[in-house]
Protein backbone atom coordinates (compact mmCIF):
# COMPACT_ATOMS: atom_id res chain seq x y z
CA UNK A 1 0.00 0.00 0.00
CA UNK A 2 2.47 2.71 -1.18
CA UNK A 3 -0.08 5.50 -0.76
CA UNK A 4 -0.64 4.62 2.90
CA UNK A 5 3.12 4.49 3.47
CA UNK A 6 3.51 8.08 2.29
CA UNK A 7 0.46 9.14 4.34
CA UNK A 8 2.06 7.56 7.41
CA UNK A 9 5.25 9.57 6.88
CA UNK A 10 3.24 12.79 6.41
CA UNK A 11 1.27 11.97 9.58
CA UNK A 12 4.39 11.38 11.69
CA UNK A 13 5.91 14.66 10.44
CA UNK A 14 2.69 16.48 11.30
CA UNK A 15 2.42 14.71 14.69
CA UNK A 16 6.00 15.75 15.47
CA UNK A 17 5.15 19.40 14.80
CA UNK A 18 1.96 19.28 16.89
CA UNK A 19 3.63 17.48 19.80
CA UNK A 20 6.66 19.76 19.80
CA UNK A 21 4.39 22.81 19.91
CA UNK A 22 2.34 21.30 22.75
CA UNK A 23 5.25 20.42 25.02
CA UNK A 24 7.15 23.64 24.31
CA UNK A 25 4.11 25.90 24.77
CA UNK A 26 2.82 24.15 27.90
CA UNK A 27 5.78 22.36 29.53
CA UNK A 28 4.77 19.46 31.83
CA UNK A 29 1.07 19.90 31.05
CA UNK A 30 -0.73 16.57 30.57
CA UNK A 31 -3.89 17.26 28.55
CA UNK A 32 -6.82 14.96 28.03
CA UNK A 33 -9.02 16.45 25.29
CA UNK A 34 -9.20 19.64 23.28
CA UNK A 35 -11.90 22.31 23.43
CA UNK A 36 -12.42 23.84 20.00
CA UNK A 37 -9.14 22.22 19.02
CA UNK A 38 -7.09 23.71 21.91
CA UNK A 39 -5.42 21.55 24.57
CA UNK A 40 -5.26 24.09 27.39
CA UNK A 41 -8.61 24.75 29.07
CA UNK A 42 -10.32 24.32 32.42
CA UNK A 43 -12.67 21.48 31.43
CA UNK A 44 -13.14 18.71 34.01
CA UNK A 45 -11.49 15.31 33.57
CA UNK A 46 -14.06 13.01 35.31
CA UNK A 47 -11.20 10.64 36.18
CA UNK A 48 -7.41 10.71 35.79
CA UNK A 49 -6.48 8.06 33.28
CA UNK A 50 -4.70 9.84 30.42
CA UNK A 51 -1.44 11.02 31.91
CA UNK A 52 0.66 8.37 30.14
CA UNK A 53 -0.56 9.04 26.62
CA UNK A 54 1.58 12.12 25.95
CA UNK A 55 4.72 10.34 27.14
CA UNK A 56 3.63 7.33 25.09
CA UNK A 57 3.46 9.42 21.93
CA UNK A 58 6.92 10.85 22.67
CA UNK A 59 8.31 7.30 22.87
CA UNK A 60 6.61 6.48 19.56
CA UNK A 61 8.15 9.61 18.01
CA UNK A 62 11.56 8.49 19.26
CA UNK A 63 11.00 5.00 17.89
CA UNK A 64 10.00 6.46 14.50
CA UNK A 65 12.74 9.11 14.15
CA UNK A 66 15.62 7.95 16.40
CA UNK A 67 16.10 11.62 17.39
CA UNK A 68 17.54 12.30 20.83
CA UNK A 69 15.11 15.22 21.32
CA UNK A 70 12.19 12.79 21.52
CA UNK A 71 14.08 10.34 23.72
CA UNK A 72 14.89 13.05 26.25
CA UNK A 73 11.30 14.35 26.32
CA UNK A 74 9.88 10.81 26.49
CA UNK A 75 11.97 10.02 29.58
CA UNK A 76 11.02 13.33 31.16
CA UNK A 77 7.28 12.83 30.61
CA UNK A 78 7.56 9.25 31.89
CA UNK A 79 9.26 10.43 35.08
CA UNK A 80 6.46 12.97 35.59
CA UNK A 81 4.02 10.12 36.27
CA UNK A 82 6.32 7.76 38.23
CA UNK A 83 4.51 8.46 41.51
CA UNK A 84 1.29 7.10 39.97
CA UNK A 85 2.66 3.56 40.34
CA UNK A 86 1.09 3.70 43.83
CA UNK A 87 -2.21 5.21 42.72
CA UNK A 88 -5.04 3.16 44.28
CA UNK A 89 -7.80 5.48 42.99
CA UNK A 90 -7.89 4.53 39.30
CA UNK A 91 -8.13 1.31 37.31
CA UNK A 92 -5.88 2.73 34.59
CA UNK A 93 -2.30 1.91 35.57
CA UNK A 94 -1.91 -0.13 32.40
CA UNK A 95 -2.78 2.93 30.33
CA UNK A 96 -0.27 4.99 32.30
CA UNK A 97 2.69 2.63 32.50
CA UNK A 98 2.39 0.39 29.44
CA UNK A 99 2.51 3.46 27.18
CA UNK A 100 5.53 4.95 28.90
CA UNK A 101 7.73 2.92 31.26
CA UNK A 102 7.11 -0.37 29.44
CA UNK A 103 8.23 1.17 26.14
CA UNK A 104 11.21 2.65 27.95
CA UNK A 105 12.10 -0.81 29.30
CA UNK A 106 11.63 -2.45 25.90
CA UNK A 107 14.09 0.01 24.37
CA UNK A 108 16.73 -0.18 27.09
CA UNK A 109 16.35 -3.42 29.07
CA UNK A 110 17.06 -1.38 32.22
CA UNK A 111 15.87 -3.51 35.19
CA UNK A 112 15.18 -0.41 37.33
CA UNK A 113 12.71 0.76 34.68
CA UNK A 114 11.09 -2.67 34.60
CA UNK A 115 10.70 -2.57 38.39
CA UNK A 116 8.40 0.44 37.99
CA UNK A 117 6.22 -1.42 35.46
CA UNK A 118 5.97 -4.46 37.73
CA UNK A 119 5.23 -2.25 40.74
CA UNK A 120 2.35 -0.54 38.87
CA UNK A 121 0.94 -3.94 37.88
CA UNK A 122 1.02 -5.11 41.49
CA UNK A 123 -0.75 -1.93 42.64
CA UNK A 124 -3.48 -2.42 40.03
CA UNK A 125 -4.02 -6.02 41.19
CA UNK A 126 -5.02 -4.70 44.62
CA UNK A 127 -8.36 -3.63 43.11
CA UNK A 128 -9.45 -7.27 42.88
CA UNK A 129 -12.78 -8.10 44.57
CA UNK A 130 -12.93 -11.71 45.74
CA UNK A 131 -16.74 -11.37 45.87
CA UNK A 132 -17.49 -11.15 42.15
CA UNK A 133 -13.95 -11.99 40.92
CA UNK A 134 -13.14 -8.73 39.12
CA UNK A 135 -10.95 -5.65 39.37
CA UNK A 136 -13.23 -2.83 40.50
CA UNK A 137 -13.57 0.34 38.45
CA UNK A 138 -12.68 3.78 39.78
CA UNK A 139 -16.41 4.44 40.33
CA UNK A 140 -17.16 2.02 43.21
CA UNK A 141 -16.71 -1.49 44.61
CA UNK A 142 -19.81 -2.74 42.79
CA UNK A 143 -18.62 -1.60 39.36
CA UNK A 144 -16.67 -3.46 36.66
CA UNK A 145 -15.69 -1.56 33.49
CA UNK A 146 -14.92 -3.07 30.06
CA UNK A 147 -12.05 -0.53 29.87
CA UNK A 148 -10.14 -2.53 32.49
CA UNK A 149 -9.46 -5.18 29.84
CA UNK A 150 -6.92 -2.72 28.40
CA UNK A 151 -5.19 -2.49 31.78
CA UNK A 152 -5.17 -6.08 32.99
CA UNK A 153 -2.21 -6.90 30.72
CA UNK A 154 0.18 -5.13 33.10
CA UNK A 155 -0.98 -7.48 35.90
CA UNK A 156 -0.28 -10.56 33.77
CA UNK A 157 3.11 -9.06 33.01
CA UNK A 158 3.92 -8.31 36.68
CA UNK A 159 2.69 -11.74 37.78
CA UNK A 160 4.78 -13.57 35.18
CA UNK A 161 7.89 -11.52 35.99
CA UNK A 162 7.62 -12.21 39.70
CA UNK A 163 6.23 -15.74 39.42
CA UNK A 164 3.28 -14.66 41.55
CA UNK A 165 0.49 -17.22 41.19
CA UNK A 166 -1.97 -15.24 43.33
CA UNK A 167 -1.60 -12.18 41.11
CA UNK A 168 -1.91 -14.32 37.98
CA UNK A 169 -5.16 -15.76 39.32
CA UNK A 170 -6.62 -12.28 39.80
CA UNK A 171 -5.82 -11.24 36.22
CA UNK A 172 -7.17 -14.52 34.85
CA UNK A 173 -10.38 -14.37 36.86
CA UNK A 174 -10.95 -10.73 35.90
CA UNK A 175 -10.84 -11.69 32.21
CA UNK A 176 -13.24 -14.59 32.70
CA UNK A 177 -15.71 -12.46 34.69
CA UNK A 178 -15.60 -9.70 32.06
CA UNK A 179 -16.05 -12.22 29.29
CA UNK A 180 -19.01 -13.82 31.05
CA UNK A 181 -20.96 -10.69 31.98
CA UNK A 182 -19.90 -7.84 29.68
CA UNK A 183 -19.41 -9.59 26.31
CA UNK A 184 -22.66 -10.58 24.64
CA UNK A 185 -23.48 -13.46 22.30
CA UNK A 186 -23.23 -11.25 19.20
CA UNK A 187 -19.72 -10.02 20.17
CA UNK A 188 -20.96 -6.60 21.38
CA UNK A 189 -19.97 -5.36 24.82
CA UNK A 190 -21.52 -3.55 27.72
CA UNK A 191 -19.59 -0.67 29.28
CA UNK A 192 -20.18 -1.59 32.92
CA UNK A 193 -21.33 -4.47 35.10
CA UNK A 194 -22.91 -3.90 38.51
CA UNK A 195 -22.44 -6.54 41.22
CA UNK A 196 -23.87 -7.18 44.66
CA UNK A 197 -20.87 -6.49 46.90
CA UNK A 198 -22.23 -8.71 49.70
CA UNK A 199 -22.71 -11.85 47.62
CA UNK A 200 -20.67 -11.14 44.48
CA UNK A 201 -23.75 -11.84 42.33
CA UNK A 202 -23.92 -10.07 38.97
CA UNK A 203 -26.92 -7.73 38.90
CA UNK A 204 -27.04 -5.83 35.59
CA UNK A 205 -25.28 -4.15 32.69
CA UNK A 206 -24.92 -0.37 32.73
CA UNK A 207 -23.12 2.47 30.95
CA UNK A 208 -21.61 5.91 31.45
CA UNK A 209 -20.35 6.86 28.00
CA UNK A 210 -22.59 4.77 25.78
CA UNK A 211 -26.21 5.33 24.76
CA UNK A 212 -27.98 2.75 26.92
CA UNK A 213 -27.20 -0.11 29.31
CA UNK A 214 -28.02 -2.66 26.58
CA UNK A 215 -26.34 -0.79 23.71
CA UNK A 216 -22.83 -0.99 22.23
CA UNK A 217 -20.45 1.83 23.14
CA UNK A 218 -17.83 1.79 20.40
CA UNK A 219 -14.74 2.62 22.42
CA UNK A 220 -15.62 0.03 25.04
CA UNK A 221 -15.80 -2.63 22.35
CA UNK A 222 -12.47 -1.45 20.91
CA UNK A 223 -10.89 -1.76 24.39
CA UNK A 224 -12.26 -5.32 24.57
CA UNK A 225 -11.09 -6.31 21.09
CA UNK A 226 -7.57 -5.13 21.89
CA UNK A 227 -7.51 -6.15 25.57
CA UNK A 228 -8.73 -9.73 25.13
CA UNK A 229 -6.11 -10.15 22.40
CA UNK A 230 -3.40 -8.95 24.79
CA UNK A 231 -4.72 -11.23 27.55
CA UNK A 232 -4.55 -14.15 25.11
CA UNK A 233 -0.94 -13.32 24.27
CA UNK A 234 -0.07 -13.73 27.96
CA UNK A 235 -2.18 -16.81 28.71
CA UNK A 236 -2.68 -18.72 25.42
CA UNK A 237 -6.21 -19.40 26.69
CA UNK A 238 -8.19 -19.98 23.47
CA UNK A 239 -11.37 -18.59 25.04
CA UNK A 240 -9.79 -15.15 25.26
CA UNK A 241 -8.76 -15.20 21.60
CA UNK A 242 -12.27 -16.30 20.66
CA UNK A 243 -13.71 -13.34 22.59
CA UNK A 244 -11.30 -10.86 20.98
CA UNK A 245 -12.29 -12.20 17.55
CA UNK A 246 -16.02 -12.01 18.36
CA UNK A 247 -15.55 -8.32 19.24
CA UNK A 248 -13.50 -7.76 16.06
CA UNK A 249 -16.19 -9.37 13.93
CA UNK A 250 -18.87 -7.21 15.54
CA UNK A 251 -16.81 -4.08 14.83
CA UNK A 252 -16.28 -5.04 11.20
CA UNK A 253 -19.91 -6.01 10.58
CA UNK A 254 -21.47 -2.97 12.21
CA UNK A 255 -19.17 -0.14 11.13
CA UNK A 256 -19.72 1.87 7.93
CA UNK A 257 -17.29 1.14 5.09
CA UNK A 258 -14.59 3.75 5.91
CA UNK A 259 -14.05 2.00 9.27
CA UNK A 260 -14.98 4.72 11.78
CA UNK A 261 -17.93 4.00 14.10
CA UNK A 262 -20.22 6.45 15.86
CA UNK A 263 -19.93 6.76 19.65
CA UNK A 264 -22.49 3.98 20.02
CA UNK A 265 -23.61 1.64 17.25
CA UNK A 266 -27.16 1.37 18.59
CA UNK A 267 -28.01 5.05 19.07
CA UNK A 268 -30.56 6.08 16.44
CA UNK A 269 -29.52 9.16 14.41
CA UNK A 270 -26.52 10.19 16.52
CA UNK A 271 -25.83 13.93 16.49
CA UNK A 272 -22.21 13.24 15.48
CA UNK A 273 -21.26 10.49 13.07
CA UNK A 274 -17.76 9.65 14.35
CA UNK A 275 -15.77 8.44 17.35
CA UNK A 276 -12.31 8.40 15.78
CA UNK A 277 -10.45 7.24 18.91
CA UNK A 278 -12.41 3.96 18.87
CA UNK A 279 -11.27 3.46 15.27
CA UNK A 280 -7.62 4.13 16.18
CA UNK A 281 -7.77 1.66 19.10
CA UNK A 282 -9.50 -0.94 16.92
CA UNK A 283 -6.88 -0.54 14.17
CA UNK A 284 -4.06 -1.15 16.64
CA UNK A 285 -5.87 -4.10 18.23
CA UNK A 286 -6.71 -5.64 14.84
CA UNK A 287 -3.07 -5.46 13.76
CA UNK A 288 -2.18 -7.49 16.87
CA UNK A 289 -5.07 -9.88 16.33
CA UNK A 290 -3.92 -10.54 12.76
CA UNK A 291 -0.74 -11.97 14.28
CA UNK A 292 -2.47 -13.83 17.10
CA UNK A 293 -5.21 -15.64 15.19
CA UNK A 294 -4.14 -18.95 13.77
CA UNK A 295 -6.46 -18.53 10.77
CA UNK A 296 -4.79 -17.04 7.67
CA UNK A 297 -8.06 -15.76 6.12
CA UNK A 298 -9.02 -13.95 9.31
CA UNK A 299 -5.48 -12.62 9.70
CA UNK A 300 -5.80 -11.04 6.24
CA UNK A 301 -9.25 -9.67 7.06
CA UNK A 302 -8.07 -8.04 10.31
CA UNK A 303 -4.94 -6.55 8.77
CA UNK A 304 -6.76 -5.27 5.65
CA UNK A 305 -9.51 -3.76 7.79
CA UNK A 306 -6.96 -2.06 10.08
CA UNK A 307 -5.24 -0.58 7.02
CA UNK A 308 -8.58 0.65 5.75
CA UNK A 309 -9.24 2.42 9.07
CA UNK A 310 -5.78 4.01 8.96
CA UNK A 311 -6.23 5.09 5.35
CA UNK A 312 -9.41 6.88 6.47
CA UNK A 313 -7.87 8.44 9.59
CA UNK A 314 -4.86 9.77 7.65
CA UNK A 315 -7.24 11.49 5.20
CA UNK A 316 -8.39 15.12 5.26
CA UNK A 317 -11.63 14.54 7.20
CA UNK A 318 -9.77 13.21 10.26
CA UNK A 319 -6.15 14.36 10.14
CA UNK A 320 -6.05 17.94 11.44
CA UNK A 321 -3.29 18.94 9.01
CA UNK A 322 -5.60 21.16 6.98
CA UNK A 323 -7.39 22.73 9.95
CA UNK A 324 -5.56 25.95 10.84
CA UNK A 325 -5.11 26.53 14.56
CA UNK A 326 -6.19 22.98 15.56
CA UNK A 327 -3.67 21.73 18.14
CA UNK A 328 -4.44 18.01 18.00
CA UNK A 329 -3.50 15.42 15.38
CA UNK A 330 -6.71 13.40 14.93
CA UNK A 331 -10.11 15.10 14.82
CA UNK A 332 -13.62 13.78 15.60
CA UNK A 333 -12.88 11.96 18.85
CA UNK A 334 -15.36 11.72 21.71
CA UNK A 335 -14.72 11.47 25.45
CA UNK A 336 -17.97 11.75 27.41
CA UNK A 337 -20.94 12.95 25.39
CA UNK A 338 -23.46 13.05 28.26
CA UNK A 339 -21.16 15.18 30.37
CA UNK A 340 -20.27 17.31 27.33
CA UNK A 341 -16.54 16.56 27.70
CA UNK A 342 -14.37 16.26 24.61
CA UNK A 343 -17.23 16.03 22.13
CA UNK A 344 -16.02 16.01 18.50
CA UNK A 345 -12.50 16.95 19.58
CA UNK A 346 -8.97 15.56 19.64
CA UNK A 347 -8.42 13.21 22.60
CA UNK A 348 -5.04 12.16 24.00
CA UNK A 349 -5.67 8.40 23.81
CA UNK A 350 -6.92 8.76 20.25
CA UNK A 351 -3.65 10.44 19.27
CA UNK A 352 -1.67 7.76 21.11
CA UNK A 353 -3.33 4.69 19.62
CA UNK A 354 -3.41 6.31 16.17
CA UNK A 355 0.39 6.76 16.23
CA UNK A 356 0.80 3.30 17.78
CA UNK A 357 -1.22 1.66 14.98
CA UNK A 358 0.71 3.58 12.31
CA UNK A 359 4.00 2.53 13.89
CA UNK A 360 2.88 -1.14 13.77
CA UNK A 361 2.26 -0.79 10.03
N1 LIG B 1 -12.30 5.97 30.71
C2 LIG B 1 -11.83 5.40 29.53
C3 LIG B 1 -12.56 5.84 28.33
O4 LIG B 1 -13.16 6.89 28.32
O5 LIG B 1 -12.49 5.14 27.35
Question: What domains can be seen in the chain, in order of their start residue?
Answer: 2-360 (1.50.10.10)
CA nearest ligand 1 atom 2, residue: 147
Element holding 195 (H helix, E strand): strand 192-195
pLDDT in tens, 326-347: 999 999 999 999 999 999 999 9
Give yes or no for residue 92 CB within 6 A of ligand 1: no
Asked if residue 331 lies in contact with residue 304, where contact means CB atoms within 8 angstroms, the answer is no
Q: Which residues on neighbouring strands pair with residue 264, listed in sequence order?
A: 217
Ligand 1 atom nearest the C-alpha of 49 is 1
Give yes or no for residue 352 CB within 6 A of ligand 1: no
Length of the chain: 361
Pairing of strands 202-206, 333-336: unpaired
Give yes or no for residue 208 CB within 6 A of ligand 1: no
Give yes or no for residue 226 CB within 6 A of ligand 1: no
> Cα separation of 182 and 171, whole Å?
16
Q: What is the pTM of this model?
A: 0.98
pLDDT in tens, 118-170: 999 999 999 999 999 999 999 999 999 999 999 999 999 999 999 999 999 99
Q: What percent of the chain shows pLDDT beyond 90?
A: 99
Ligand 1 atom nearest the C-alpha of 223 is 5
- What's the Cα-to-Cα distance from 141 to each of 125, 205, 222, 351, rounded to whole Å? 14, 15, 24, 31
Amino acid sequence: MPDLTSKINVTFDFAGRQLRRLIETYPDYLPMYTVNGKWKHGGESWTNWCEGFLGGQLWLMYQHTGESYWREKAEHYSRLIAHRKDDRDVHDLGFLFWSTWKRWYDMTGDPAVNDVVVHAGRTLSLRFKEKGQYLRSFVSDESLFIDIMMNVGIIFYAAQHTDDAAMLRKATQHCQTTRKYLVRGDGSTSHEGIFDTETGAFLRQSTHQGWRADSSWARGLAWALYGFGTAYSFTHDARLLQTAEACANFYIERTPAPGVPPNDWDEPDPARPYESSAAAIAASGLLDLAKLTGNPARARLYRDYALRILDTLTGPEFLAIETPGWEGILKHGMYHERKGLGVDESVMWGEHFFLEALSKV
